[in-house]
Structure 1
Amino acid sequence: MSDENVPSENKPFHTRWEFWALFVYGLILIIYTIAFIISNWGNLTLLTSNELGDFLAGIFAPLAFFFLYLGYKQQGEELKQNTKALMMQAEELKISNESLKQQVEEMSKSVEAQQDMFNLAEKQYKESLQERTNQVIPLLNLVGSKYNKTPDYGGTGQLEHRFNLTLKVRNQSIKNLKIKSNFWFITKSGGSYDRSPIFEIVSVDPNMSIVLIFYVQTNVVPFQDNTLEFRYYDEYNIDYLKNYKITKNQDEFVLLEEIKPEP
């Protein structure tokens, strides 16, 4: 770095302008004193105390103002440095604030990513648990047939409504199956038509397929809040209760929709 770019306060004192100002001032005083002594050689006398005080005051007053100026200038330089330092601190704080904002955003994204991972893991765990549960509990497979109704040949105004329901179980056998309807009579294919809304089966194995016949003779339109209740036990005497709503589609095929219990 050249001397021109070095701050004046960091330069050696003999190279600074203050030194040369004092040097010139001292040189002027010496030259003036020598010239005064030479011109008044024969009339030299000692100065009185008052005259000596005035003499010294005259000599050092400019120096006092000069050093006062230097002190003022030094204070200004320090204020400038303090201001610069404060500006640098403010800039560092601004950079730090931006860095903290970025860290907060990154932490927020990390938390969201971890939450997504947790939700995914929880979903996978529930699906795995449900899959394992479905593999060990007995599951009902219910397939409805096409709905039929016969005309009123006797003039009673009542029609005969009928459909079949094929029942199968998976995973393990069930026992003490009890089926109850709030509208239909139930019998087994080949069984008696005793007009009972309740049908019971001692046991059903996974390799069995049972066809149930649902029938009723009425002038009431069916499939209006018709429900079925299935109650049964598995091999470990665990009790199961399932409810279904009986509906039919536009092609007149009967469908069963499970009614989930409210949480």
Structure 2
Amino acid sequence: MNRLRAYWVGQAKWWCSRSLEWWAAHLTVLYIGGAITIMGAKFDQLISLELNEIGDLAAGAFGPVAFLWLVLGYIQQGRELKLSSEALRMQAEELKRSVAQQCEIAVAQKTSLQNYERTLEPLLNLEVSGADWSEGEFYVSLKISNTGDYCESVIVKLIATDNNEKSADPLMSGASCSVRFDDLHEWEDFEVIVEYKKRSGASNAQSFSVVSYHEDGYGYNYYVRKHPFLS
């Protein structure tokens, strides 16, 4: 009993798995075969029909078949449009993923380039090596040390009541240079901006605030604070 039921279940699955095209083709063959058989059985009556009657007979006999295949064509066209829409949707998703991946790669490359540029930065330190009167003018001597990478085209700008700037020698790693600014107001606060060009050719700057203070028993002196420059 179980084998018989399994057989019929298998048959039902097989018949249900057939496509519409398969059913339409077989039904068309059966229909046309039946129509030809019937017309063959009534051949004597068929040949006695007028031409317009034969046309009406053909239209009535084969019209359902033509309508069946017309409907099937619309169904097939709908399937193809659905498949085409699905393919376009998948292509759009793939393009979206590709664009997102390219954006991630671009961000990673930009980050890598920024990290590389940071490794080329000089690490500058500023000291006030001297501040006093000389020949009726108050001067400040600055010492700039480099513990980072090589830089050149060094320009030291002093921002105070009267701005001034001076060029300095290229700074190798571990090297230092000194610049002197004259005709300043006595013990005034000021800022120093050191502009330079890195080995990569990119330009940058580092800045410092220089603030005077008074200490009992020692007089006036300067305190230097470096501003952050790495973003």
TM-score w.r.t. structure 1 length?
0.45
TM-score w.r.t. structure 2 length?
0.49
Larger Rg: 1
From the two aligned structures, give the one with the greater strand fraction: 2
